[in-house]
Chain A
Amino acid sequence: MLNNIYNIFFIPEIFLACSSFVCLLFGLFLKKNAFRQTSNLAVFVLLLTILLVYYDSESNFANYKSLFSHSSFINFFKILALLGSIASIIISKDYFLGIKLKNFEIPVLFLFSTLGMMLMIASNNLMSMYLAIELQSLSLYVAAAIKRDSISSAESGVKYFILGALSSGILLYGFSLIYGFTGSMNFDDISFYLSKYDNLNLGLIFGLVFVMVGLAFKVSAVPFHMWTPDVYEGAPNSITGFFAIVPKIAAVALIYRFCLVPFENFYLEWSQIILFLSIASMFLGAIAAIAQSNIKRLLAYSSIGHIGYILIALVAANDDGIKAASIYMFSYMIMNVAIFAILLSLKVKNEYLINISDLKGLSKSNPIVSLSISIIMLSMAGIPPFIGFFGKFYVFIAAIEQELYVLSVLGVLASVISAFYYLRIIKIMYFDESISEGIINFKISFQSKIILSLSLFLIICFIFYPSLLINISANLTI
């Protein structure tokens, strides 16, 4: 209840927004170690935000003029995004210092982008949804281009910006059509209006398709994925890590909410689009990754493939689907945090690792690191007993519950194809004889080591006590 004006600062989004400004000023006035201090403060702020999200479950503001909504699903994804953001700030700190990119703005940009994501996940209105998307995207455009003296970073930033702006335009046009034909921007009102009709009229169908295209761009589903590999490749590794881990969480939550709230009753219309996106993403992600020699491009295609699986659960559109999506997204986040924590600490001849072939001989020089990478790769490929398998398993349970047999079979076939390139990394580390040894240097800070060990622990030990996550995700309502 808002009977006390100070309570407003305990609303997670407002708290995060204010703290972001504080961080900005904090960094500005610091003379020394501005980057490091601001990062630490940002992590602290995000931790507090998690606590607020966790405890502030009955906030009235959240429904302020129905711009935002409130549910367990939203809270789960908010916490997931915040966790991902914390992890990526921590693991990237040493990398930034290593490449002498010490702008204190970076953690602040991450904070603003995370704020945008929280609003995205919670938005219940086309307008707030658009603004939230723009908030997170604008911060990310800047982040991608943050390495100002690097051509590739600038290129990736510009590419991301132009394509992102285009997709936002398409999205906005879709919103305008939906608004024009339903007379409302609010999800619940749209849903109520649409419940009076049996099928969508042409304008609404166009609106829906445009919005789907825009959202597909945000989750980087095929055929709107072109930007992903380029942006991943061009941006500094740690920014890539952030891209891979966090924005996907928010975008997935948004696409779920958009399909399942206002257009709940028009399953047939949107599910065809999602079905196509899903199959195309799984197969393109699996096949295109085979030919990659750059580890960041490979991970880009791998994330495209993972999005395909999450969309299977969306096509299923049942409670199991929501559960599957949250479990899959959790495992996706954990696996990406782990792999990026390693990549951001691996140096080959004093350069950060880019080419997969540079991993050659890692199993001799750093047996524990190569074992960890192998476990992450097997988990991403969905081989039991690691967490990635259970993500896929729940997705297929949801799909089969909805009798989507063909889609499930296509899904498992794509997972076999994708197993090839994950195995190839293991092959390079273990099977290939290294010519020279000792050129790979693994130096990891204490904090990232904790993050890495924690995520590896979750990947390996999820099987022993799955109920914790599963009970949470089973009770999520959209």
Chain B
Amino acid sequence: MIDWPLVSVIIFLPLIGALIILFIKEDELTSINIKWAALLTTLGTFILSLILWLQFDYSNPSYQYEEKFRWFDDFNFFYHVGVDGISLFMILLSTFLTPLCILASWNNIKKRVKEYMLSFLFLETVMIGMFASIDILLFYIFFEAVLIPMYLIIGIWGGNRRIYASFKFFLYTLLGSVLMLIAIIVMYRNTSSMSIEFLQGNYFSYNTQLFLWLAFFASFAVKIPMWPFHTWLPDAHVEAPTAGSVILAGVLLKMGGYGFIRFSLGMLPEATEFFIPLIMTLSIVAIVYTSLVALAQTDIKKLIAYSSVAHMGIVTIGIFLVNQQGLEGAMMQMISHGLVSAALFLCVGVIYDRMHTREIEFYGGLVQRMPLYATVFMIFMLGSVGLPGTSGFVGEFLVIIGAFKFSSYVVIGAAFGIILSAVYMLYLYKRIIFGTITNNKLADILDINTREKIILIPLAISVILLGIFPNLFLDPMRLSLELIITNYEIANAK
């Protein structure tokens, strides 16, 4: 094993990069240095996080690479970080997507490059820190600190309605997460501990659990987002710059799902059992409703944003099935959605950079001019639909298998949503890519360039890799998920 604080290095490396960038003076010539510094930092972080995966002990369900030292003298608050099977891929997802985001912003961010890169590096630190925390207050601090850079990214570099979108994003998510703070303090008061590991074995009284569950639900349901708390998402996605949407869809939404698994399932099993019908209903409504809404969109980004809500509906179903297939499916769906939706937003970014519009009507017949683009877009589109052989299939398939154990109504709802997702994605693809070019402005649009290839091809490879070798990803997380399920079943005495 590794005897140096690997996790902390991964968490704080981007922050160190940010500090270095802070001292680079920004002007026309040096902004390229800033970009390179940011790119190298994030790549370094990604490589370090790969070590995390390579050295990972598959046979250990609990936390690995633990680091712990006392932080606050007056109560049991520790700087306690580590990685288990659940957080491993969330961290990898964050470290994988951030360099791609930096690359995607290489040319189209022209103003305030320094602040932009600082925001992204700070964002990476807090994202990784959040997934790696084993202390619940540490988790909360990172969870809320995410809002700061994201608020700036949407607000400074966003589209026309960016101010509205950034405020909505910030206040909506803050409202959810402050209730979680109260819940955390209540938990601490009852147990005198803030360790996630400890709290997972410690069951609160039934009534306390119900209130705590609702408080956690408030923050995670907004974050993931579940219907009817999803309204911030389309606004934030549409107004954010491409890289902002990528991180938002790729990582920030997963914070909700991650929170559900860790806190709701892990710490509040009895309350979870009580609220499962609620979650299932909301998820199915979300899947069907937002799929139909997606069908009616005229803006490409908004369509993908609504599809995210639908896909996250599958995730919440999978999580709250609380069986092996369901949870594994939900995890796979989260990873897959992190890659696919990020890639789709990047694809939208490619044509947006060229034409500066996201209206579906504007495009059409792109395959004539951009064959390579059409191909990668197709891979991601199919990944989103869930075609066998792509990453989307594994997650949806596992969730549906798991759902059969629970209720066939849920299966019907989920399956209906999957069909609808095929409808709106294929319809989108048809309108943008196929046909002949009718719009004169598209006549000399260029195919993806080298930089865009570097961004999209790794994503395409991982989407297919995930679809063909799902066990590569499922094996490390299996035992950790089993641990949560066992705890859950013991608590509910099944």
Q: In residues 162-212 of chain B, which contact A (Cβ within 8 Å)? A: 162-163, 166-167, 170-171, 174-175, 178-179, 181-182, 185-186, 188-189
B73 at the interface (CB under 8 A from A): yes
B174 cross-chain contacts in A, Cβ below 8 A: 383, 416, 419
Given the known interface contacts A393-B181, A427-B155, A470-B73, the answer about A385 and B145 at a Cβ–Cβ threshold of 8 Å is yes
Given the known interface contacts A383-B144, A383-B148, A409-B182, the answer about A431 and B166 at a Cβ–Cβ threshold of 8 Å is yes
Bound-state CA distance A409–B176 (Å) is 11
Partner of A389, one of B141, B162, B189: B141
Q: Report which A residues bind B (CB closer than 8 A).
A: 323, 363, 367, 378, 383-385, 389, 393, 396-397, 400-401, 405, 408-409, 412-413, 415-416, 419-420, 423, 426-427, 430-431, 463, 466-467, 470-471, 474
B147 cross-chain contacts in A, Cβ below 8 A: 383
Partner of B155, one of A397, A405, A430, A470: A430
B409 at the interface (CB under 8 A from A): no
A400:B186 contact, CB within 8 angstroms:
yes
Bound-state CA distance A34–B239 (Å) is 57
A401 cross-chain contacts in B, Cβ below 8 A: 189
In the complex, how many angstroms separate the beta carbon of A178 from the nearest chain B beta carbon? 36
Bound-state CA distance A333–B230 (Å) is 38
B171:A420 contact, CB within 8 angstroms:
yes
A397 cross-chain contacts in B, Cβ below 8 A: 75, 185, 188-189
A423 cross-chain contacts in B, Cβ below 8 A: 151, 167, 170-171
A416:B171 contact, CB within 8 angstroms:
yes
A415 cross-chain contacts in B, Cβ below 8 A: 178
B74 cross-chain contacts in A, Cβ below 8 A: 323, 467, 470-471, 474
Residue of A nearest to B156 (CB): A430
B71 at the interface (CB under 8 A from A): yes
Partner of B145, one of A384, A400, A430, A467: A384
Bound-state CA distance A84–B404 (Å) is 66
Bound-state CA distance A430–B152 (Å) is 8
B106 cross-chain contacts in A, Cβ below 8 A: none
Given the known interface contacts A383-B144, A389-B141, A430-B156, the answer about A396 and B167 at a Cβ–Cβ threshold of 8 Å is no
B166 cross-chain contacts in A, Cβ below 8 A: 427, 431
B4 at the interface (CB under 8 A from A): no
B148:A378 contact, CB within 8 angstroms:
yes
Partner of B189, one of A400, A419, A463, A474: A400
A467:B73 contact, CB within 8 angstroms:
yes
With A367-B115, A400-B182 known, 14 other A-B pairs at CB within 8 A are: A363-B115, A383-B147, A384-B144, A385-B145, A397-B75, A397-B188, A400-B185, A413-B175, A413-B178, A420-B171, A427-B167, A431-B166, A466-B71, A466-B72
Given the known interface contacts A397-B185, A400-B185, A420-B167, the answer about A412 and B141 at a Cβ–Cβ threshold of 8 Å is no
A-B contact pairs, 16 of them (CB 8 A): A323-B74, A363-B112, A385-B145, A393-B185, A397-B185, A397-B188, A400-B189, A409-B182, A412-B178, A420-B167, A423-B170, A427-B167, A431-B155, A466-B71, A470-B74, A474-B73
B56 at the interface (CB under 8 A from A): no
Residue of B nearest to A370 (CB): B115
In the complex, how many angstroms separate the beta carbon of B165 from the nearest chain A beta carbon? 11
Residue of B nearest to A396 (CB): B185
**What is the size, in residues, of chain B's interface with A at 8 Å between Cβ atoms?**
33
A463 cross-chain contacts in B, Cβ below 8 A: 141
In the complex, how many angstroms separate the beta carbon of B128 from the nearest chain A beta carbon? 15
In the complex, how many angstroms separate the beta carbon of A473 from the nearest chain B beta carbon? 9
B189:A405 contact, CB within 8 angstroms:
no
A427:B163 contact, CB within 8 angstroms:
yes
B178 cross-chain contacts in A, Cβ below 8 A: 412-413, 415-416
B140 at the interface (CB under 8 A from A): yes
Bound-state CA distance A367–B26 (Å) is 11
Partner of B175, one of A384, A416, A470, A471: A416
B156 cross-chain contacts in A, Cβ below 8 A: 430-431
In the complex, how many angstroms separate the beta carbon of B51 from the nearest chain A beta carbon? 26
B179:A409 contact, CB within 8 angstroms:
yes
A396 cross-chain contacts in B, Cβ below 8 A: 181-182, 185
In the complex, how many angstroms separate the beta carbon of B154 from the nearest chain A beta carbon? 9
B167 cross-chain contacts in A, Cβ below 8 A: 420, 423, 427
Bound-state CA distance A426–B171 (Å) is 14
Partner of A471, one of B73, B148, B182, B188: B73
Bound-state CA distance A416–B181 (Å) is 12
Top 5 A-B pairs, shortest CB-CB distance? A412-B178, A384-B141, A467-B73, A431-B155, A400-B185
Residue of A nearest to B155 (CB): A431
In the complex, how many angstroms separate the beta carbon of A437 from the nearest chain B beta carbon? 13
Residue of A nearest to B175 (CB): A416
Partner of A412, one of B73, B155, B179, B189: B179
Bound-state CA distance A385–B145 (Å) is 7
B182:A431 contact, CB within 8 angstroms:
no
B140 cross-chain contacts in A, Cβ below 8 A: 384
Q: Which of B75, B152, B182, B189 neighbours the largest number of chain A CB atoms within 10 Å of its CB? A: B182
B163 cross-chain contacts in A, Cβ below 8 A: 427, 431
A383 cross-chain contacts in B, Cβ below 8 A: 144-145, 147-148, 174
Bound-state CA distance A393–B141 (Å) is 11
Q: In residues 397-456 of chain B, which contact A (Cβ within 8 Å)? A: none
Residue of B nearest to A468 (CB): B73
Bound-state CA distance A401–B141 (Å) is 21
Residue of B nearest to A382 (CB): B178
In the complex, how many angstroms separate the beta carbon of A373 from the nearest chain B beta carbon? 13
Bound-state CA distance A397–B76 (Å) is 13
Bound-state CA distance A393–B138 (Å) is 13
A412:B181 contact, CB within 8 angstroms:
yes
Residue of A nearest to B211 (CB): A405
Bound-state CA distance A323–B72 (Å) is 14
Bound-state CA distance A265–B41 (Å) is 60
B182 cross-chain contacts in A, Cβ below 8 A: 396, 400, 405, 408-409, 412
Bound-state CA distance A416–B145 (Å) is 14
Bound-state CA distance A36–B171 (Å) is 45
A385:B189 contact, CB within 8 angstroms:
no
Bound-state CA distance A409–B214 (Å) is 13
Residue of A nearest to B186 (CB): A400
Residue of B nearest to A371 (CB): B115
Bound-state CA distance A397–B187 (Å) is 11
B170 cross-chain contacts in A, Cβ below 8 A: 419, 423
Bound-state CA distance A74–B16 (Å) is 41
Q: Which of B71, B74, B175, B186 neighbours the largest number of chain A CB atoms within 10 Å of its CB? A: B74
A420 cross-chain contacts in B, Cβ below 8 A: 167, 171
Residue of A nearest to B182 (CB): A408
In the complex, how many angstroms separate the beta carbon of A398 from the nearest chain B beta carbon? 10
In the complex, how many angstroms separate the beta carbon of A394 from the nearest chain B beta carbon? 9
Q: In residues 109-163 of chain B, which contact A (Cβ within 8 Å)? A: 112, 115, 140-141, 144-145, 147-148, 151-152, 155-156, 162-163
B72 cross-chain contacts in A, Cβ below 8 A: 466-467, 470
In the complex, how many angstroms separate the beta carbon of A279 from the nearest chain B beta carbon? 15
Residue of A nearest to B137 (CB): A393
In the complex, how many angstroms separate the beta carbon of B332 from the nearest chain A beta carbon? 32
A378 cross-chain contacts in B, Cβ below 8 A: 148
In the complex, how many angstroms separate the beta carbon of B216 from the nearest chain A beta carbon? 14
Residue of B nearest to A368 (CB): B22
Residue of A nearest to B114 (CB): A367
